[in-house]
Amino acid sequence: MSDQVLAGRYRLEGRLGGGGMGTVWRAVDETLRRTVAVKEIVFPDVLTAEERRVATGRAQREARAAALIDHPGVITVHDVVIEDERPWIVMELVDGPSLAEVIRRDGPLAPAAAAGIGLKVLDALEAAHAKGIVHRDVKPGNVLLAGDGRVVLTDFGIASIDADPSLTRTGTFVGTPGYVAPERLRERPGGPESDLWSLGATLYAAVEGRAPFDRDTPMAVLGAVLTEEPAPPQRAGSLGPLLWYLLRKEPSTRPGAEEVRRVLRNVAAGLPSGLPSATPSATPSATPSGPPGAVTTPAPPGRRPSRIWIPVAASAAVVMVGALLAGSILMNGPDGEAEVSASARADASSPPASPEATPTPTPSEARLDLCGLVGHRQLKRLLPRGNPSVEKDQKSCGWTVSKRGFEITDLNRRTSDPPPASPAEAHNKFVGTRNATTPGTHVWGWPTIDVDHVKARKSGALPVSGIGDEAFAYTSTGLTKPMDISGVVFRVENTLIEVEHVYERGTASPGDARDAARLIARAVARA
């Protein structure tokens, strides 16, 4: 095919590359005597005549879409010809590889280099958005790195033009799995924020060397985009928080183009991201609940220490409370009224200390009486039998009563690692904890009270809605002793909390144990 001539003027010289949308050829425009790139649209054999007609219309629409945008970062389309009942798109030949080829050849990019490329792609996207065009297929393979330093966005073949919706193809998926925003997979309208999501996925691939939702099959990728969080980036540096924001599921919670540009400029210059200590863009209702900050993503935490407080003789259960909060905690009493623990009321009634005498504690320093997180009436409602005894330490507090109880633990203080400095760090720690919660056998115990080596079978993480910013549940069934656990792990901004209902089998049904654990988790999250 290297000597084929299209429309009497475009002589094909050699294949440059190809993909799902077609094959790209190097060609010579013999009329104007210039070298061009020609994209051959390849139709699957299973397409009907009507589907071929629609595909041809989409190719012609790509030419109109690109022609509307006068920007050096957008590919220039010269012509569209129909040959052999297939469309061929004639465009400028960019002398340079795609970002995907660079990643495959050289490996991941440094954050500053990726941010510099992202800035130029963002400029091209904004030029398109200003014309009412949403690209809808931003990915490393469609970002060309020209030898003259230009970054060129190509392949507007599935672009959506506000003024020309007649060729929208319904009933089929169009786009590249892993780079298509979740709202488009849910068949919701995709706007500029969808392109920004795809830009985030592209930059993630640039610094990590793989797509954020990389899986073995396309269907698994689509499912991960809809229901899972991306793996915490390990190489992104100060670019990491921006990636976390851009890849949020809900479009209204992603940063706007100006905020993205400001952060990319900082990272490209080798500076911290510059994300503020308040919400980063737009209005509070349209932004995440807290700042990601310029941080390095921590490694996922390892397995939790083998420790649960369980008295030997009484076969008792435990209530352990741990949290890192900087204000008074309210819990709903049995009648729904707000209830403040006695210690919290005493703290509130005390005169405030002088600012000069006592510095204001930071969230990582401030602590409440951990047992005071649950009011007396709330505790009696959950543990109606006996008078609970109290045990506590820096990160947890426990009540023990006969037969059953609850454990609430501050995961921020479980290890010697510093607490998360931002919601982004806490989210990554949550994802690591969830990924580590896999089905299998484990051993737990509390040697100091002569209860150890309780062999148990643990379930995997089960998603739970309506508790904090994100949550999952799990169960643990004792194999060597009749002790079971129903647990919930959830995040509220920077804080990670685990609730475990520990009980002797027979004192509560699995359903009641699960509901009780979620009741406590929901109440603490609201507080």
Taking the domain 5-92, which CATH number applies?
Answer: 3.30.200.20
pLDDT of 312 reads 30
Q: Is 392 annotated as a binding residue?
A: no
Prediction pTM value: 0.53
pLDDT of 329 reads 27
Secondary structure of 224-241 in the HEC alphabet?
A: HHHHCCCCCCCCCHHHHH
- Asked whether 21 and 44 are in contact (CB, 8 A), the reply is no
**Range in 36-50, 203-217, 224-238, 488-502 the model is least confident about:** 36-50
Q: Which CATH architecture is the domain 101-162+173-286 placed in?
A: Orthogonal Bundle (1.10)
Residue 334 has pLDDT above 80, yes or no: no
pLDDT of 239 reads 93
SS3 category, 417:
coil
Average pLDDT, the chain: 74
Residue 103 has pLDDT above 60, yes or no: yes
SS3 category, 29:
strand
Percent of the chain with pLDDT over 70: 68
Residue 440 has pLDDT above 50, yes or no: yes
User: What count of Cα atoms within 13 Å lies in the side-chain half-sphere of residue 131?
Assistant: 21
Instruction: Give 212 or 19, the one with higher predicted confidence.
Output: 212
Residue 408 corresponds to which tokens in the numbers above? 């609430």
User: What count of Cα atoms within 13 Å lies in the side-chain half-sphere of residue 320?
Assistant: 26
What are the tens digits of pLDDT across the range 288-321? Answer: 333 333 333 333 333 333 333 333 322 333 333 3
Residues assigned a catalytic role: 137
Considering only CA atoms, which of 495, 513, 501 is closest in space to residue 320? 501
Kindly report the backbone phi and psi dihedral angles of residue 142, in degrees, each rounded to the nearest multiple of 5, phi listed first. Answer: -105, 10
Boundaries of CATH 1.10.510.10 in the chain? 101-162+173-286
pLDDT of 323 reads 35
- How far apart are the C-alpha atoms of 429 and 449, rounded to whole Å? 31
What are the tens digits of pLDDT across the range 466-510? Answer: 888 899 999 989 888 888 888 999 998 888 888 888 888 887 778
C-beta atoms surrounding 388 within 10 Å = 22
CA 93 to chain centre: 36
Boundaries of CATH 3.30.200.20 in the chain? 5-92
